[in-house]
Amino acid sequence: MKYVVKLGGASLEQPELLQAIGKAIADLVADGHRVAVVHGGGVQLTRTLAQMGKESQFISGLRVTDAETRDAALMVLAGRVNKSLVASLNQQGQSAVGICGGDGQVFRARKKRTTPDLGFVGEIAATDPRWIEAIWTMNSVPVISSIALGFDGEYYNINADEMAAATAACVKADALVFLTDVPGVKGADGTVMRWLSLRDVPALQQNSVISGGMLPKLNACRDALQAGVKRVRILPAEAARVLPDLISSRVEQGTEVMAA
C-alpha cells in the first residue's frame, strides 16, 4: 500500500520523537509498503527569520512570503530540515532521498491568488509521480520539502499540508496521515473528535471552533479525499507508532476525516 506521511516542523525539533517516527516509517517499508514523507518546517523558518530580523506574519494559517522570506524558506526547508530528516531515517537503517518540489519537475506551482496578496506563496498546479516512483523502486523513501517551482521560473513556498495532499493525489495513495503537535481536531466542547465529516467543517469554521493552522490542514484533507485517497487521518506525532496498524486495525488516536 502507498502511504503519505506529513511531518510538522514542531515534531522535527524533538530527537526522541523524530526517532520514533523514523522507526514507524522504516517498519512500514519493511512490511512492503511504499511511503513518501512530506515535511514542513515552520518553526525552524520562523526562528531563522527572527535571527535575520524579520517578523513572521500569517493570514488564515498561511505565511506571508516576500522574496527574502522565500529565499530563507528554500534554504531552511529544502536544505537543513530536509537533510536532517533524511539523516534521521538513515539512522533507522532506512534509505531516504530528499527532494523539493522543483526537483525533477515532480511538482509545478502557480502563485496563489489571495486578498490580501501573500507574495511568493503558491499552490500546486501540476504533478509528475515518476521520480517518486523511481525512488520507491530502490526501496527508499522520498522526503519532500514544501517548496515548488513555478512555470515562471520562481520558487514558491507551498503550505506543507497542501503539498502532502498533492503528493497523496499524485501517487494515488491509500492513506494520508498528518502527524501534528495537537491531539486531533477539537469540537466545541474541547474534546478531540474521533471522526469528522467534511460537510461539518464549514459550520465549525463559522463558529470559530476551528481556525488558524487547522484551516489549511482540513482543506488539504478535503482535497485528498476528493482526489480518491481512501484514508485521511490527523494523528498526534506521539502516536506515530500506530502507523503500521493504521489500515488493518482500529486506531483510537487522532481524528479520522471522512468525505461524508
**pLDDT, tens digit (0-9, with 9 covering 90-100), for 189-212:** 889 999 999 999 988 888 888 877
Contact 257, 165 (CB under 8 A): no
Residue 247 has pLDDT above 80, yes or no: no
- Over residues 171-188, the mean pLDDT reads 92
pLDDT at residue 249 is higher than 70: no
pLDDT tens-digit profile of 61-87? 789 999 999 999 999 999 999 999 999
Q: How far apart are CA 225 and CA 168, in angstroms?
A: 9
Position 3 in a domain: no
Q: Nearest CA to 141 among 186, 187, 95, 172?
A: 95
Q: What is the mean pLDDT of residues 79-106?
A: 95
Residue 4 lies in a domain: no
pLDDT of 228: 95
157 is in an annotated binding site: yes
**pLDDT above 70 covers what percent of the chain?**
97
Query: Residue written as cell 523539493?
Result: 100
- Looking at residue 25, its pLDDT comes to 95
For residue 2, tell me if it sits in a domain.
Answer: no
- Confirm whether 1 is domain-assigned: no
Q: What per-residue confidence (pLDDT) applies to 9? A: 64
**20-39 b/e with 16+ CB inside 10 Å = b?**
bbbbbbbbbbeeebbbbbbb
Q: How many whole angstroms separate alpha carbon 96 and alpha carbon 92?
A: 10
Cβ contacts of 184 within 8 Å, gap of 6 or more:
192, 193, 194, 234, 235, 236, 253, 254, 255
Check whether 42 is labelled as a binding-site residue.
yes
Does 251 fall in a domain? yes
- The whole-number average pLDDT for the span 21-35 is 94
Provide the 8-state DSSP code for 193: P
Task: Confirm whether 249 is domain-assigned.
Answer: yes
Give the separation between CA 40 and CA 82, rounded to whole angstroms: 9
Confidence of residue 14 (pLDDT cuts 50, 70, 90): confident
Contact 237, 253 (CB under 8 A): no
Tell which residue, 17, 78, 91, has the closest CA to residue 48.
Answer: 78
Mean pLDDT of 54-67: 92
* Structural domain boundaries, residue 106: 10-258
pLDDT value of residue 39: 96
pLDDT in tens, 119-170: 999 999 999 999 999 999 999 999 999 999 999 999 999 999 999 999 999 9
Rounding to the nearest 10 degrees, give the CA dihedral for residues 155, 217, 25, 20.
110
Sign for the CA dihedral angle at 63, 99, 231, 91 comes to negative
pLDDT at 96: 98
CA distances from 102 to 70, 75, 221 (A): 14, 13, 23
Between the CA of residue 154 and those of 39, 163, 231, what are the distances in Å?
Answer: 20, 17, 33
Counted domains in the chain: 1
CA-CA distance, 244 to 218, in Å (whole number)?
23
Whether 251 shows a pLDDT value over 80: the answer reads: no
Q: Please give the biggest Cα pair distance in the chain.
A: 48
Q: Which residues, listed in sequence order, are joined to residue 2 by a DSSP beta bridge?
A: 34
Q: Are 108 and 150 in contact (CB under 8 A)?
A: yes
pLDDT above 90 as % of the chain: 74
Mean pLDDT of 12-34: 92
- Residue 99's pLDDT is what? 97
| pTM for the full predicted model | 0.94
What whole-number distance in Å separates Cα of residue 63 and Cα of residue 61? 7
> Mean pLDDT of all residues in the chain?
92
Report the CATH number that the domain containing residue 44 is assigned in CATH. 3.40.1160.10
Region 237-244: mean pLDDT is: 87
